[in-house]
Structure 1
């Protein structure tokens, strides 16, 4: 069976033509197993499973292996949150409220053994990069020469793309292409924990998440509007100089907190100070799956 190449079809290198690509999209509390057809980048969700972010390493490996078996073809692509060594396949989670038990674990070796595969059959990719590449492949930034994807949730993920390739080095991007590494720390303002804490300070009321705060903002509550504006203004101020230096043509937002963007768009765009298209993805998970396959 002939093999595709990125140059000939845009499909993943080494994947037989017509064979779906098996993908795991992994978040802080879930794993989604999917198959992607490279001919049209259509996605079939096979299974969604819960992950206990505080489970021991053996349980997490077993849960990921079980999800992987459902979509295994010639190998498996895994979209993982950081901190993670994507080349070596080693997890470095520590103090990030998820997967601490995987700290220092060679996930490539453990999963390869569990799935009876060579380690080279497992490819790991940063989840924010996967999202950005998925949007460039089949989403709102499709075909842009230079674009930026930003995911907003437990933290801030980012990827700076040129011609669909992640740029991680150079003076025109943040260190490793990751906005959360810049100073002052953006996640002190733009993250689930920061927004919830800011709302509690403003009102004395503790709400479970950003969705509930956004609902208060939609109803016109001033404190909720101010809290969200503050978070998105901080994001705009951190992002603006990098968009300028990178020459970005468009930005796409994803992640759970991106759903609140329309409530704060005027404040965000004023702080950004750049006339650049800002869109919100229709489906973060779908885009990350497509990007991991690509």
Structure 2
């Protein structure tokens, strides 16, 4: 029997869990998470990743029917830039994990894992979130899905029947949105935590440090205006992409999504006013959803469809 472990790599954390492949839910007591210093040395980062994954390996043998002789498939939800087919990190000039530049993650990681009977597969983190949003408890009756994550950065994925689409006339280049032009800058500057902090300081003259959660807790005219402006900007930016892709569903995750009560209604109204009546699904646990999505790489039918088209960025 094979075991699948999904791993979500964030800018400052790693999360790991074993997945039940029959119904795509996390096996109880196998989820572990921990902080990672993304500016540390290669050895420190890889050892920390292995530490968390090893906790899941021990737990899955303890709390499930799997034995220590079963092969383990480890699937990564990995941010770019990354060579997803070869497993080589290309982090450079983006202020995170730069010590892993040109490092083959699977070759280094296996040195520190508690078992060597493993295989590795990798997919972009935004794509994993999108796939995970269509699985398990989040199962959606939709063919075409746009998934976005709103947090320290702006992630996006376009999926057709769960398959990430990165090229074609109906999707932006590489299936990414963060680097696309919006107003006087790029989208990442408008749909991330720093935009909220900058807007709050601009309106009130005060600096906040606890992100969007802190702004959401204040609830006055100034913060209401910030969330309204955010909803207006987001709808204005997304509408052309939604129309081009003919999306059925928009999935929204990331820390900013936890404050959806302050912007979702406005966003829906704006989309309807542009004759777009697509469903919107809010996912509050982005990490676990990404873990589920990564585990789908060990669905062999899905893997056969995607492995020759893994993005190289």
> For this structure pair, what is the TM-score category when the shorter chain's length is used for normalisation?
0.7 to 0.9
CA displacement 1:98-136 (0-9 Å, x = unmatched): 323323333232223444758x91111111111111111
Does the CA-based 8 Å contact 1:175-1:181 persist in structure 2? no
Query: Aligned ranges for residues 50-89 of structure 1 at < 5 Å?
Result: 50-72=35-57, 73-89=71-87
Gaps of 5+ in 1: 1-15
Separation in 2, partners of 1:92, 1:271: 38
- Work out whether residues 140 and 252 of structure 1, in 8 Å CA contact, stay in contact via their aligned partners in 2: no
Distance in structure 1 (CA, Å) of the matches to 2:229 and 2:89: 33
The aligned counterpart of 1:28 is 11
1:211 aligns to 2:213 (yes or no): yes
Residue aligned with 1:181, SS: coil
Instruction: Output the TM-score relative to the length of structure 1.
Output: 0.85
Q: Could you tell me which residue of structure 1 aligns to residue 191 of structure 2?
A: 190
Q: Would you say the 8 A contact 1:41–1:138 is kept in 2?
A: yes
- Of residues 6, 31, 34 in structure 2, which corresponds to 1:49? 34
Q: What is the distance in 2 between the residues matched to 1:96 and 1:254?
A: 22
Q: CA deviation at 1:175?
A: 1.1
Distance 2:239 2:180 in 1: 12
SS in 2 for 1:279: strand
Residues 193-231 of structure 1: CA distance to partner in whole angstroms, max 9, x if unpaired?
Answer: 222122112111111111001112xx3x12212222223
Q: Give the C-alpha shift of residue 191 in structure 1.
A: 0.7
Alignment of 1:1-294 (within 5 A): 16=1, 19-44=2-27, 45-72=30-57, 73-115=71-113, 117=116, 121-140=119-138, 142-184=140-182, 185-208=186-209, 209-216=211-218, 219=219, 221-272=220-271, 273=274, 274-294=276-296
Q: 1:11 corresponds to which residue?
A: none
Using the TM superposition, give the Cα deviation of residue 41 of structure 1 relative to its aligned residue in structure 2, in angstroms.
1.2
How many angstroms apart in 1 are the aligned matches of 2:107 and 2:93?
Answer: 24
| C-alpha distance in 2 between matches for 1:277 and 1:258 | 15
Relative contact order (C-alpha < 8 Å, sep 6+): which is higher? 2
2:161 and 2:169 map into 1 onto residues whose CA distance is 18
The answer to whether the 8 Å contact 1:190/1:232 transfers is: no
Q: Deviations over 1:25-59 (max 9, x none)?
A: 12122111200010111203432111112222221
Q: 1:30 to 1:267 in 2, by over 3 A?
A: same
Q: Which runs of 5+ in 2 are unaligned?
A: 58-70, 297-313
User: Against the structure 1 CA distance between its residues 147 and 51, is the aligned structure 2 distance closer, same or farther, given a 3 Å change threshold?
Assistant: same
2: CA distance, partners of 1:91 / 1:260: 33
Change (3 A) 1:198 1:105: farther
- Report the CA distance between 1:271 and its aligned residue: 3.7
